[in-house]
Amino acid sequence: MDDGALVLFSGGQDSTACLAWALARFARVETVGFAYGQRHAIELECRGPVRDALAERWGTRLGPDHLIDLTPSLTALGQTALTSEAAIVMGEDGLPSTFVPGRNLLFLTYGAALAYRRGLRRIVGGMCETDFSGYPDCRDDTIKAMQLALNLGMQRRFVLETPLMWLDKAATWALADRLGIVELTVERTHTCYLGDRTHRHDWGWGCGTCPACGLRAAGWRRWREE
């Protein structure tokens, strides 16, 4: 197994930063995306143009893309504000209604199964517990536990890379700047939970009011002020 990387790539700001980060480090990088009935499915349409733009810079380092449909299994387990038109609110358990239980755990499991078959050792994800929505499957402890479980269960030595784990959104914008992808991030990525690509802000496209837009906008302002 070589030291290539598989990037969990949604088409959003964070995963685009992760993809550029991986391309700057590894000679062989593939991507995997997941359809799961997400309200902001337009992000899947952004993946191709973002990959094309990055391929212009990193050329043959960027390998095949894979798309896995998890819609039947995740929607069968119940709807959330990320997979339906439900209001985005804070639940009694302290978690936002956009939390999709098991989503990132499934992404990592399917990603590892694909990496196993593709001979890729590193699996890169945009999980972060610095500026995030409170999802427990984005925490560093969760990722470390998943790495152990995947390595034991598949008898491999995968490394789960989370380059954004300790970065706030301002630092993520700074990373995009160092990688030369700020314009690409603003114009072509999609992060808005409501799937809004009718409103263009300095920091990109989105409704401007959902939690994802709020984090992105606040990070942009802090980065620009530094």
Interatomic CA distance for residues 104 and 38, integer angstroms: 13
Question: For position 37, what pLDDT does the model report?
Answer: 75
Strand duo 120-124 + 159-161: pairing:
parallel
Q: Average pLDDT per run of 10 along the chain, which is 226 residues long?
A: 86 96 97 84 92 95 95 63 48 55 87 97 94 78 96 96 96 97 97 91 95 92 93
Question: For position 81, what pLDDT does the model report?
Answer: 42
Question: For position 85, what pLDDT does the model report?
Answer: 54
Structural tokens at position 60: 């043959």
Question: For position 82, what pLDDT does the model report?
Answer: 47
Question: For position 193, what pLDDT does the model report?
Answer: 85
Strand order in the sheet with 120-124: 62-69, 29-35, 2-8, 120-124, 159-161
Question: For position 137, what pLDDT does the model report?
Answer: 86
Strand duo 29-35 + 62-69: pairing:
parallel
Using H for helix, E for strand and C for coil, what is the string for 67-108? Answer: EEECHHHHHHCCCCCCCCCCCCCECCCCCECCCCCCHHHHHH
Amino acid identity, position 10: S
pLDDT in tens, 107-118: 999 999 999 999
Question: Is residue 122 within a helix (H) or strand (E), and if so which, with residue range?
Answer: strand 120-124
Topology annotation, domain 2-73+100-225:
Rossmann fold (3.40.50)
Question: For position 93, what pLDDT does the model report?
Answer: 55
CB 55 within 8 A of CB 16: no
